[in-house]
Amino acid sequence: MRYLITTSIPYVNDDPHIGHLYEFVLADIFARYYRNLNKEVFFLSGTDENGIKIAKSAVEAGKNIKDFVDEKYNKFFELKDKFFLSFDHFIRTSSEEHKKAVYKFWQLCQEDIYLNNYSGYYCYSCEAYYDEKDIKDLICPLHKKKLEKIEEKNYFFKLTKYLDEIKNLIEQERIKIYPQEKKLEILNILKVGEIRDLSISRDSKRSYGWGIPVPRDSQQVIYVWFDALINYLSGLGFGSEDETIFKKFWNEGEIIHFIGKDIVKFHAIYWPAMLLSAKIKIPEKIVVHYFINIKGEKMSKTIGNVISPNDLLEKFQAEEIRAYLAHQTIFNDWDFNFQNLRDFKEGILKKEIGNLILRIFGLLKKAPLKINLNNNLLKEISSKIKRDFNFYINNNFEINLAYLIAFDLVKEINNFIDQKKIWNNLTDENLSTIIINLFEILNYYRPLMPQKIEEIIKKIEIDNNFYLNKEIDLSPLF
């Protein structure tokens, strides 16, 4: 089985914050999980670098647009090494490789594209139009900013042509949306029937010429969402001379999009319609994570409560942050504060997981040089934990619940050591049990803390089902 794991691509009008990091880490953990099962995985992310909002942000900052975009891109891309993100490719939508893909895709959709006049109220932060009936006092419902009346000639995509088919695909779960409430939300939008054809271009003057020009019409640039969604294809080589990776992972793999809850409509309605028009396979799964709040409020520069990845790294190690994020509820908004992260580190990571690993290696210093791994007295318990863990990961994508279950094995091993008083009973079956279940613990937590766990695994030697008990000294993990 092959998997294509993607994140949405963050808009580079501003610096990265903890919400961007959360999505990157979630998707990375799933990519590592599947790789640990010896599945082929391509993990794709990138940056969304076109659009009027980015051009305006650069101009307001007094910077050249390209220089501004390059600077922001670097801040996102450097998270890869800082947080052990295993991207196979990080696509930039201002790149030539992406532009080629967009032009090929536009051509494939040509029969569903037409020119028409457009009039509506525009939010530059949303990069979207609103109908007057959907807004109050001409204020954007999301960004609380005054909307601007825009009248211009645009190219349109026949979105309405595909709505019934998309509805059927979602109802039949050929497109699976997680959690269920987001599936119902999209079906309700489709049922209401107010979606119109999509404006997919903007007057290039409004974007200061920044963006991908419409083919054979340089007065228009392609609408940022129509352009940006195609990153899922361009990042695989679609539109290039060599489309091997695209064919291997898009056409022949299972596609899993990880996105935030504010962009579900774009991924569950617009994107499938675009793919149906281009006669390209639709994605199988869309996993919608919820938001991180600060003291119950959405992060906002105006309020001054934005937390950056670098703010976190000043106080904690990258793998501590990764593990903490994985333990938070994926399908509900949750509140971040530094004390909770500190408590998680000192409790779950240091006192429980870290100390258990150190405790086991301490016990093994008194054990024989060769231990036969032929017995697992916790087999029934550990097998159930593995089944439940894999169920929550594979069937529901509820990573936080999966790791609550994995933590049960940590508690079971500690109880086993105490009840058996293993320091006085270094029998083969006792030692075999703790070593076999140590391996399970390392496998569970490897996607969360890849560097720390990998360092331990490299020190362990197995030969023909025997654990070779050499001296292993570990410093405290946290």
Q: What is the mean pLDDT of residues 343-349?
A: 97
* Catalytic one of 53, 72, 140, 257: 140
In a domain, 319, yes or no: no
Mean pLDDT of 83-92: 98
CB 69 within 8 A of CB 45: no
7 and 125 in a single domain? The answer is yes
In a domain, 202, yes or no: yes
Q: Give the pLDDT confidence score for residue 145 in this predicted structure.
A: 78
Report if residue 476 sits inside a domain.
no
Digit-coded pLDDT (tens) for 28-52: 999 999 999 999 999 999 999 999 8
pLDDT at 297 exceeding the cut of 90:
no
Which one of the listed residues 123, 182, 267, 452 is annotated catalytic? 123
Q: Kindly state whether residues 371 and 294 are assigned to the same domain.
A: no
Q: Which of 86-100, 205-219, 443-457, 461-475 has the lowest mean pLDDT?
A: 461-475
pTM reported for the whole predicted model: 0.94
Contacts of 29 (CB under 8 A, 6+ apart): 322, 326, 399, 447, 448
Whether residue 305 lies inside any domain: the answer is no
Cβ neighbours of residue 345 closer than 8 Å, sequence gap 6 or more = 316, 320, 324, 478
- DSSP H or E segment with residue 4: strand 2-7
Confidence of residue 123 (pLDDT cuts 50, 70, 90): confident
| Predicted pLDDT of residue 144 | 76
Residue 257 shares a structural domain with residue 393: no
For the record, the structure tokens of 47 come out as 């940056």
Q: Determine what percent of the chain is predicted with pLDDT higher than 70.
A: 99
Q: In the predicted model, what is the mean pLDDT of residues 138-157?
A: 84
Residues 71 and 179 in one domain: yes
> Are 216 and 131 contained in the same domain?
yes
Read off φ and ψ for residue 347, nearest 5 degrees: -90, -80
Asked if 109 is an active-site residue, the reply is: no
User: How far apart are alpha carbons 306 and 301 in whole angstroms?
Assistant: 6
pLDDT at residue 267, rounded to an integer: 98
- The answer on pLDDT for 124 being more than 80 is no
**Is the domain of 280 the same as that of 355?**
no
User: CA distances (Å), 20 to each of 7, 45, 151, 427, in order?
Assistant: 10, 11, 34, 49
Round to whole Å and give the CA distance between 311 and 294.
14
Question: Which of the listed residues 298, 329, 354 is the one where a domain comes to its end?
Answer: 298
356 and 268 fall within a common domain: no
Of all helices (H) and strands (E), which one includes residue 2?
strand 2-7
- Judge contact between 238 and 159, C-beta under 8 A: no
Instruction: Please check the confidence at residue 127 and state whether its pLDDT lies above 90.
Output: no
Query: Among the three residues 247, 280, 298, which one is the final residue of a domain in this structure?
Result: 298
Helix (H), strand (E), coil (C) string for 111-179: HHEEEEEEEEEEECCCCEEECHHHCECCECCCCCCECEEEEEEEEEECHHHHHHHHHHHHHCCCCEEEC
| Alpha helices per DSSP H over 13-78 | 18-36, 52-60, 65-77
**Active-site pick, 298, 370, 384, 470:** 298
Looking at residue 273, its pLDDT comes to: 98
Tell me the mean pLDDT in the region 90-111. 98
* Identity at 47, one-letter amino acid code: T
Residue 422 lies in a domain: yes
The 8-class DSSP code of residue 465 comes to T
Same-domain pairing of 104 and 53: yes
Q: Are 50 and 211 in contact (CB under 8 A)?
A: yes
Mean pLDDT of 441-451: 97
> Are 236 and 349 in a shared domain?
no
Distance between CA atoms of residues 223 and 213, nearest Å: 10
As given in the structure block, the two tokens for residue 29 are 């953990």
Q: What are the pLDDT digits (tens) for 357-399?
A: 999 999 999 999 999 999 999 999 999 999 999 999 999 999 9
Copy the structure tokens of residue 426: 């270094």
Asked whether residue 195 is domain-assigned, the answer is yes
Helices (H) and strands (E) in the chain — how many of each? 20, 19
Domain end (from 249, 274, 298): 298
Same domain for 81 and 30? yes
CA separation for the pair 437, 477 (Å, rounded): 19
Tokens of 18: 């903890």
Active site residue 126: yes
Residue 135 lies in a domain: yes
Tell me the per-residue pLDDT of 235-260, one tens digit each, with 9 for 90 and over.
Answer: 999 999 999 999 999 999 999 999 99
User: Any catalytic annotation for residue 143?
Assistant: yes
Could you please report the per-residue DSSP string of 126-139?
TTEEE-GGG-BTTB
Residue 54 within a domain: yes
Please answer whether residues 113 and 226 qualify as being in contact, where contact means their C-beta atoms are separated by less than 8 angstroms. Answer: no
Residues 435-463 have a mean pLDDT of 95
The catalytically annotated residue of 66, 143, 145, 351 is 143
Active site residue 123: yes
Q: What is the CATH number of the domain that holds 412?
A: 1.10.730.10
Residue 387 sits in which domain range? 338-468
More confidently predicted of 118 and 8:
8
Q: Could you report how far apart the first and last alpha carbons of the chain are, in Å?
A: 35
Residue among 191, 281, 301, 351 flagged as catalytic: 301
Looking at the 3D structure of the chain, how many domains does it have?
A: 2
For residue 19, the model assigns a pLDDT of: 96
| Of 350, 330, 296, nearest in space to 404 by CA | 330
Same domain, 275 and 360: no
Of the candidates 361, 370, 464, 356, the one whose C-alpha atom is nearest the C-alpha of residue 408 is 356
